[in-house]
Amino acid sequence: MTTEADRLTALARYAVLDTLPENAFDRVTRIAARLFNAPIALVTLVDQDRQWFKACFGLDLHQTDRSVSFCAYTIQSDGVMVILDATRDPLFEHNPLVTSAPHIRFYAGAPLITPDGFRLGSLCVIDQRPRDHFPDADRALLTDLAQSVVSELELRFTQRTLTQEAQANARLLRCVQDAQALSEALLGVSQLTTLDLPAVETASFALPMIAQSARVDCAALLRLDDRMTALTHWTGGAAGEAFLAALPRELPRGEGVAWQVADRDAPHYVQDYARHDGASTTVAQAGADALAWVPLGSFCGARYVAAYALVGADRVWSARQRKLLEASAGIVRQAMRNRHQRDVPVPVH
């Protein structure tokens, strides 16, 4: 047995309340008004505390309280509710919609019944004059028009569902593509580290590979000893080149965030770099908004950090970018450590 809560849930599923007028629904009210020679025709939806008009012909209202709504009674059955003269009906004779504007006398409403049996509201026609009858043929015709309203609601629900499914599939495809790109980038970096290269050259060759896959604007390999020096760099376009051109080639010891990253030996990501504690004024003025530093380890008395930049306002680091930068740094760090251990002579006793 369905409840009022179930009915309201079904109504919410159509996401139609408080939406803008639409010609498909307005057209039905125009047709209904003409067919039944009625000055007013409405497509109503009965919410928890109100009846709201999705389409309204001949009445300058958008909603009324549910407590005075005729349609709140219409949705209590599957058939057409007809009130020939509201002033003579004990249920409505004192209703403010009868005793004052719009002075309802005649009312005929067919419930909007969904395929799963929920009554959302009604298609109704209203007159300010009472009538003697509303024949069965008219009831059947009003029911058919009400069903056309439900068909429009179903069509919009289906379209929205298909759109949501398409968007979900697109997001899934992007996730798969990102995962594939991440795997390919890490494989490329891993293959590079198998070459017989000095430790710093391994990092230098890996940097462009990582930066391109991460879609950053600028990247640099930093060496930190008595000062911070950019050993090599990569740019991905005009924005990155302009940023790089404005950067100093060296910074004194302790100036900039890279020193803090090297000391903690942990990656660090910054949004709105200019406001970050420890930011270099020179770097901030160059225009980068989001910066990242990923430590690569210490070798021969120097520490190495890979730095990456996203240039422009409101740039943010995505989870994919972070995963790529950190995973690739782990591969490069291990390769540099292995090569360093091979190159350091073993003491002879």
Amino acid at 348: V
CB 339 within 8 A of CB 199: yes
Give percent of the chain with pLDDT exceeding 90: 44
Average pLDDT over residues 302-330: 84
**pLDDT classification of 82: cutoffs 50, 70, 90:** very high
Q: Is the pLDDT of residue 198 over 60?
A: yes
Average pLDDT over residues 57-68: 93
Which residue in 190, 182, 229, 223 sits closest to 206, CA to CA? 190
Predicted local confidence at residue 193, as pLDDT: 66
C-beta atoms surrounding 347 within 10 Å: 5
Is cis: bond before 21, omega within 30 of 0? no
- More reliable by pLDDT, 111 or 327: 111
What are the CA-CA distances from residue 149 to residues 22, 31, 214, 266, 271 (Å)?
12, 12, 50, 61, 50
What CATH number does the domain located at 4-161 have?
Answer: 3.30.450.40
For CATH 3.30.450.40, list the domain ranges present in the chain: 4-161, 196-343
Predicted local confidence at residue 179, as pLDDT: 67
For 96, left (φ over 0), alpha (ψ -120 to 50), or beta? alpha
Output the average pLDDT for the chain. Answer: 86
CA distance 116 to 2: 11
The long-range contacts involving 315-318, CB below 8 angstroms and separated by at least 24 positions, are 315/271, 315/289, 315/290, 316/271, 316/290, 317/269, 317/271, 317/290, 317/292
Q: Is the pLDDT of residue 154 over 90?
A: yes
Predicted local confidence at residue 291, as pLDDT: 86
Give percent of the chain with pLDDT exceeding 70: 91
**pLDDT classification of 346: cutoffs 50, 70, 90:** very low
**pLDDT classification of 343: cutoffs 50, 70, 90:** low
Predicted local confidence at residue 46, as pLDDT: 97
Q: Is the pLDDT of residue 348 over 50?
A: no
Our CA dihedral for 136, 137, 143, 149, rounded to 10 degrees, sits at -160
Average pLDDT over residues 132-141: 96
Q: Is the pLDDT of residue 347 over 50?
A: no
Our CA dihedral for 282, 287, 289, 295, rounded to 10 degrees, sits at -50
Predicted local confidence at residue 349, as pLDDT: 46
Is 196-343 CATH 3.30.300.30?
Answer: no
Average pLDDT over residues 41-60: 96
- For residue range 218-244, what is the model confidence (pLDDT) as tens digits? 888 888 888 888 888 888 888 778 777
Amino acid at 229: T
- For residue range 278-312, what is the model confidence (pLDDT) as tens digits? 677 777 777 667 888 888 888 778 888 888 888 87
